[in-house]
Structure formats: structure tokens, C-alpha cells
Homo-oligomer: A and B are copies of this chain.
Amino acid sequence: VTPDLRRLRERLAEISDLRRTLLLLSWEQRVTMPPGGTEARANALATLGRTEHERFVDAEIGHLLERLRPYEESLEYDSDDASLIRVVRRDWEKARREPSELRAERLRAGSLAHGVWVEARATNDFARFLPALERNFDIRKRYAACFEWEDSPYTPLLDDFEPFMTTTDVAAVFDVLRPALAEIVRNAPRIDASFLDVPFAHDRQRVFAERLASTVGLDEDAWRLDTSAHPFCTSFSRRDVRMTTRFMDTGLRALWSTLHESGHALYAHGVAPSLERTPLAGSPSLGLNESQSRTWENLVGRSRPFWSHWYEPLQRTFPDELGDVGFETFMSAVNCVQPTALRGRADETTYSLHIILRFDLERRVLEETLEPRDLPQAWNEGMQELLGVEVPDDAQGVLQDTHWASCQIGYFPTYALGNVISLQIWSVVREAIPDLDDQLEAGELLELSGWLRDGLYSLGRKLTPSETIERLTGSPAIDPQPFLAYLRAKAAALA
């Protein structure tokens, strides 16, 4: 190890500690913090964020990266060291464009707005949220202005979550999805799933959700499951992974939300130990990360073999609610196509249409063809157009998501991209594990999570999203066709 590399690794380890601490401040705000702590937390996030950013964009890191070029070129492309130098160089060049003060302002604003959003949603009061929303969009516009872009000011924002993709690239995928999904929705049979629309005791849901999560392949002393207003997953190291879920008045949505977060958790948990405390400990893009949450939520968690193992235990847990509900009825209900106002309750087909709406809207605000104050109307019109759904109120409309409150603008498209990518990877998994269905029927998930860990999660951020997809599937492109074929087959099976 050269002294330059040692020095770079030391500095990146400290920066990594600061970044994980930022995640902890944010996790804690959402999970345990009393409301009185809001203002101090916003200050702490701003100070930590500024400190982390100042350290990272420091000229010394640039010098080290430059001096390490010959060493990088002497190594295998996907070696840990070459990948570290290459990926950090791109991160560093991008981060240098943003003033540390703007970063601090975004963290402070996102933290304060989160508290406002929780209250505004609870009271169905968009006007109360609007000033914070306007400030957040303004902060992100100023961020976009730090960069040159070709197609849209939305692209630099998108790039934070989906590196190397442009707004045009995303729009091209969504232009395929939009009509195809609408057609599947139109032709899908209507299923009566009202037996799920009743209260299920939260404590028993929690026990069952933890039981499911404990089987996916996480070390038992390395994770926990809490509740929050909006389910999410974060990690402070590969051995300290935090999932949250949310228990609703009716239904069992928390079970699939837990499986969803388990996919994110497995990704964080599966990163190679050699990448710990480096910026490579993560995933190449949120789309790839989401492909795994959707794999565990849907491809595993709505499948017939999975539930042929788990449905009896679920019936025993909720005998009054499910004792008389047959397996086929349950399977149809958890796989039906049913437009709804809430993304958090959407089925696999309509889900991406919710995302396309959000992408269109946030892109238009960035491109200044839509004002934040007009978002509720545009939202409701879009829901009508894309899904034929009447939005009952803003709490179940424009206020339903936490992302804009948290200043995470440009994040939404990664959800639909994740759906698409999940099927590209799933085809390979199916070939690699021919008896997967038998394993799922036996409640065995460890070969699946082990294969995904070794083939995908362990790579961390070493490769670009396209390189990662190519390594797994043989092709670098994001291809919506396997996803659409999967949905069409499911809808046909329901008929």
C-alpha cells in the first residue's frame, strides 16, 4: 500500500463515519426523536453535513486522487483500490460543484420540512406545507444550477440517485411503460380483496413481520425493525442495518413493506467487508438497490411458492380474519391489479404509474413549467389521467410521500427503474437456482439471498449501474420488456 493510498483511505474512512452519522441523525429523527427536538436536529444535520462536505471536497483529496492515477491504471479495473479511486474521483468532482453552505441548507431545510410534512399530512393541510415545499424546490434548483446539463435541470438531481442516467433516458423507459401498464390495468380482472380491508392487530403483525425478516439471511445481531411515518431502510455499517415499517388501520401491508425493506437491508448487509468505511459501501444506484427491495417484496413475497409455506402460519396468526379465506383467494387478492390513490398501497402494475406521475411533476417544477402551489391540482389531474383515480384529499394525494419534504427531489424515478431491473436480474437468478420454487415452498431463502449477495450486493459501488447490470445479465441496458411480460402473465393468470 502506498502512503498516498493509505492517506486517502484514512480520510475516506473519516468521511464515511461522518456520512453514517448523518444517516443516524436522520433515522433517529424519524424513529425515536420527540417532536421538541426538531430544531436542534436540523442544526446538527446542517453542521454535520457541512463538515462532511468540507472534508470531502478538500483539495488534498483531489491531489491524492491525481497522484494515484498511475497506481489505479496498474490494477484490475474492478479491484477494490482501482474502483475506490475511480468512483471517488467522480463523486469528488461532482461534490466540488456544490457549495458546502448549500449542502448544509438542504439538510437543515429537509429536516425542518419533515416535521412540517408529518403535521400537514395528519391535518390534510397542503397550505401549511407549501412554504417548506417551495423552499426545498428552490434549494434543488440552486443545486441544479451548479452543473452544466444538456436536456433538463432535473438531470443533475437524478444523477445523485441514478448516476449516469439523464432525464431523457428515464423518459424513454417511462414512455414504454406508460401505455403498456395502462393497457394491463385496463384488461386486468377485478378481484374482491375486501377481506384484507379490515383491522389486523398491530402487535401480531409486528411479530409476523419480524419472523419473516429473520429468515431472509440477515445476521441476527445486525438489524432491527422499528416503525416510522414512512417505511425506510438505512445502515450505519454492514452489521448495523435499520428497517422501519408502518402499521395501517386496515390490511397487512406492513408484511410486504417489511419484505421490501429486507431487500434494502440485505443489500447493505451484503456489501463486501473490504469495502466497509469507504464510499463504495453501498449500491451503484438507487434503481439497483430498489430492484432488490422489489425482488423480496414482490417476486418472492407475492409468489405462490412463498405463500404455500407461509400462509398457514399467517392464518394461525389471524384466525378470525383469515381462517375462512382459502389459499387461492388470498393469492388472487395479494396479486390483483387495483388502482388506488396511495402509492404505499399500490399493486405491482399500477405502482410504476404512481412513479411516472411524480417524475413528470417534479421535473416540470424543476423546468419551471409548474409552480409548487399548483402541484395539488396537477397531481389530482394526473391521477385521473394515468390511473382513473379520484384523489379524495391532499393527505391521500400530493402530501402522501415524505420525499419532497426531505428534499429528495429526483429520487422517485428510481422506484420504477427498480421494478424494471428486478425482472432483468430475476431471469438470471431463475437460471442459476433451478429449484428456487421448491426452496421457497420449504421456507428456504438463504441460497437466494446468498446468490444475490455474492453476485450483486458484495460489489457495492465498485461498478457503474450499467456495468453492474451487464455483469449480472450480459447486457448493460435497462430493458422494460421482462417486467412487462411478468405483469402480463400475472394478469392473465388472474383471469
With a cutoff of 8 Å between Cβ atoms, the chain B residues found around residue A40 in the complex are 17, 20, 236-237, 239-240, 276-277
- Pairwise interchain contact A20-B44, C-beta atoms closer than 8 A: yes
Separation of A226 and B28 alpha carbons in the complex (Å): 14
Of A20, A44, A221, A223, the most chain B CB neighbours within 10 A belong to A44
Interface 9-residue window, one of A29-37, A133-141, A348-356: A29-37
Which B-chain residue is minimally distant from A15 (CB atoms)? B47
Instruction: State the Cβ distance, A227 to closest chain B Cβ, in Å.
Output: 13
- Pairwise interchain contact A34-B221, C-beta atoms closer than 8 A: yes
Which B-chain residue is minimally distant from A240 (CB atoms)? B37
Instruction: State the Cβ distance, A34 to closest chain B Cβ, in Å.
Output: 5
A190-207 contacts to B (CB < 8 Å): none
With a cutoff of 8 Å between Cβ atoms, the chain B residues found around residue A44 in the complex are 17, 20-21, 24, 236
Is A13's beta carbon under 8 Å from chain B? yes
With a cutoff of 8 Å between Cβ atoms, the chain B residues found around residue A221 in the complex are 34-36
Known: A36-B240, A37-B240. A43 touches B222 (CB 8 A): no
Separation of A240 and B15 alpha carbons in the complex (Å): 27
Separation of A236 and B111 alpha carbons in the complex (Å): 15
- Pairwise interchain contact B277-A34, C-beta atoms closer than 8 A: no
Instruction: State the Cβ distance, A343 to closest chain B Cβ, in Å.
Output: 28
Separation of A51 and B52 alpha carbons in the complex (Å): 10
With a cutoff of 8 Å between Cβ atoms, the chain B residues found around residue A447 in the complex are none
Number of copies: 2
With a cutoff of 8 Å between Cβ atoms, the chain B residues found around residue A237 in the complex are 36-37, 39-40
Known: A48-B18, A51-B51, A221-B36. A240 touches B13 (CB 8 A): no
How would you classify the secondary structure of chain A's contact residues: helix, strand, loop or mixed? helix
Separation of A11 and B261 alpha carbons in the complex (Å): 39
Known: A34-B222, A36-B240, A236-B41. A24 touches B28 (CB 8 A): yes
Is A25's beta carbon under 8 Å from chain B? yes
- Pairwise interchain contact A21-B20, C-beta atoms closer than 8 A: no
Instruction: State the Cβ distance, A79 to closest chain B Cβ, in Å.
Output: 24
Separation of A40 and B268 alpha carbons in the complex (Å): 14
- Pairwise interchain contact B51-A224, C-beta atoms closer than 8 A: no
Which B-chain residue is minimally distant from A237 (CB atoms)? B40
- Pairwise interchain contact B222-A36, C-beta atoms closer than 8 A: yes
Separation of A224 and B35 alpha carbons in the complex (Å): 10
With a cutoff of 8 Å between Cβ atoms, the chain B residues found around residue A226 in the complex are 32
A1-35 contacts to B (CB < 8 Å): 13-14, 17-18, 20-21, 24-25, 28, 32-35
Instruction: State the Cβ distance, A178 to closest chain B Cβ, in Å.
Output: 42
Is A219's beta carbon under 8 Å from chain B? yes
With a cutoff of 8 Å between Cβ atoms, the chain B residues found around residue A32 in the complex are 32, 224, 226
Known: A17-B48, A32-B224, A221-B34. A239 touches B41 (CB 8 A): no
Q: Binary interface profile of A, 218-248, with partner B (CB < 8 Å = 1, else 0)?
A: 0101111010000000001101100000000
> CB < 8 Å: which of B13, B46, B51, B239 contacts A37?
B239
With a cutoff of 8 Å between Cβ atoms, the chain B residues found around residue A18 in the complex are 47-48, 51
- Pairwise interchain contact A239-B36, C-beta atoms closer than 8 A: yes
Which B-chain residue is minimally distant from A50 (CB atoms)? B14
With a cutoff of 8 Å between Cβ atoms, the chain B residues found around residue A37 in the complex are 222, 236-237, 239-240
Of A47, A48, A223, A239, the most chain B CB neighbours within 10 A belong to A47
Separation of A33 and B36 alpha carbons in the complex (Å): 22
Separation of A13 and B50 alpha carbons in the complex (Å): 13
Separation of A50 and B51 alpha carbons in the complex (Å): 12
With a cutoff of 8 Å between Cβ atoms, the chain B residues found around residue A43 in the complex are 13, 17, 277
- Pairwise interchain contact A240-B47, C-beta atoms closer than 8 A: no
Separation of A48 and B25 alpha carbons in the complex (Å): 13
With a cutoff of 8 Å between Cβ atoms, the chain B residues found around residue A14 in the complex are 47, 50-51
Which B-chain residue is minimally distant from A222 (CB atoms)? B36
Of A24, A50, A224, the most chain B CB neighbours within 10 A belong to A24
Which B-chain residue is minimally distant from A45 (CB atoms)? B17
Instruction: State the Cβ distance, A305 to closest chain B Cβ, in Å.
Output: 30
- Contacts A21-B44, A36-B240 known; 15 new A-B pairs at CB < 8 A: A17-B43, A18-B51, A20-B44, A21-B25, A21-B47, A24-B24, A24-B44, A34-B240, A36-B219, A36-B223, A36-B239, A37-B222, A37-B237, A39-B239, A44-B236
9 residue pairs from A and B, CB less than 8 Å apart: A18-B48, A34-B224, A37-B240, A39-B237, A40-B236, A40-B237, A41-B240, A43-B277, A51-B51
Going nearest first, the 4 A-B pairs with the smallest beta carbon separation are A37-B240, A40-B237, A36-B239, A36-B222
Binding site for B on A (CB under 8 A): 13-14, 17-18, 20-21, 24-25, 28, 32-37, 39-41, 43-44, 46-48, 50-51, 219, 221-224, 226, 236-237, 239-240, 276-277
